[in-house]
Amino acid sequence: MHDYLAIQPEVQAALKAGRPVVALESTLISHGLPSPTNVETALAIEATVRERGAVPATIAVLDGRIRVGLDQEDIARLAESGRGKGGIRKVSRRDLPLVLAQGADGATTVAATMIAADLAGIAVFATGGIGGVHRGVETTLDISADLEELATTSVAVVCAGAKAILDLPKTLEYLETKGVPVIGFGTDRFPAFYATAMGLPVDARCDTAAEVARVLHAKWRLNLDGGVLVAVPIPEAAALDAQVVEDAVRQAVAQANDRDIKGKDLTPFLLRRLEELTGGASLAANRALLLNNAAVAADVAAAYTRLRVETALPRRPPSSKRPLY
C-alpha cells in the first residue's frame, strides 16, 4: 500500500495512539465552492474538528498518491487547479486507479474519500451532502457511486442528507435496498440539505454521539460490512425555506437539461446555479452545514474511540484484510 497511500505524520500518530480522527473530502475545495470561500471553509472545517478534540484528515490524490492529511499549501493547490477546463480531476472509485497510475492529481468525492479513509483505518468521515439518485433517473440511470460505496465500505458518513438537487425519496429507497442504516442525528426526519427536512423518515434517531457510536460498534462487530449514514439537520438559523429551494432546483435542473449538461459536470453546474438563483443564500447555508457536520463527526469519532477502548475491539471486524493503524 505504501506505493499509493501517504498518511500525514500527525494523522498516523493519532491513529496509532487511538485518538479520534475525522476524514474530510477535497471536492468541495476544487469543485464544490467558489474561491476564496473554498479555502476559507476547508480550513474552518479542520479547525472545527480540532476544537472538538479530533484530528482532521483532509484527503486528496496528489502526484499519484492518496494523501490522508493535507497542509495549507496542499489545500491552496487544490483550490487553484480545480477551476476551468482541464482542471484537477474529480475522483470517484472508478477514477482512483487511473489517476494513481498516471501520477496525477485528483479531488476525492464522497466515494473515493470513504475508500481512502477505510484504507487508513479512519472510521468517521464528515461531508456536506452525499450524492444519490438524480432526478429523471428513469431515463438517465444517473445514480451516484456514493450509494454503492456506502453499501460496501465500512465508514460512517456524517452529512446533512443528500444534496438538494437529487431525488431524495429514491435515494432513501436505494440505501434501504443496499442495507445502509440511515440515522437522524437529533431528528426523526431525513434532512434536506439546505432545509431541515421534507417529511421523509429515517431508520432510527440518535440524540448523542455515544448512541451513534453504539450503532457503528454493533454493525461492524457483526461483520456487516458497509457504511452508516448519519444525517444531521442544517442549523435552524442557516436553513432555507424548503419551497424556495425546490423551486430553484427545478429551474436549475431544467436549464441543465436544455444545455445537455450531464455526468460529472452536472452537480457543479446545479450548485452554481442554486447559488445564483438564491442570491448567495445557498452558499452561506452550505458553509454552515459543513461546519456543523464537522463538529458532530468529531464528537462521533471521539465517542467511537472511547467505545473501542472500553471493549478492546479493533476498529474493523477481525476478518478485514485492510491495514489497521
Which residues are tagged catalytic? 25, 163
Close Cβ partners of 272 (under 8 Å, ≥ 6 residues apart): 34
Residue 16's alpha-carbon distances to 10, 214, 247, 305, in angstroms, are 10, 22, 48, 12
> Using CA atoms, how far apart are residues 187 and 196, in angstroms rounded to an integer?
9
Which grid coordinates belong to 170? 429514491
Taking each continuous run of H as one helix and of E as one strand, the counts in the chain are 13, 11
Q: Judge contact between 207 and 194, C-beta under 8 A.
A: no
CA 254 to chain centre: 26
Residue 222's alpha-carbon distances to 1, 154, 219, in angstroms, are 27, 12, 5
**Three-state SS sequence of 128-145:** CCECCEECCHHHHCCECH
Identify the residue whose cell numbers are 429514491.
170
Which grid coordinates belong to 251? 429551474
* DSSP letters spanning 276-308: HHTTTHHHHHHHHHHHHHHHHHHHHHHHHHHHH
Which grid coordinates belong to 201? 423518515
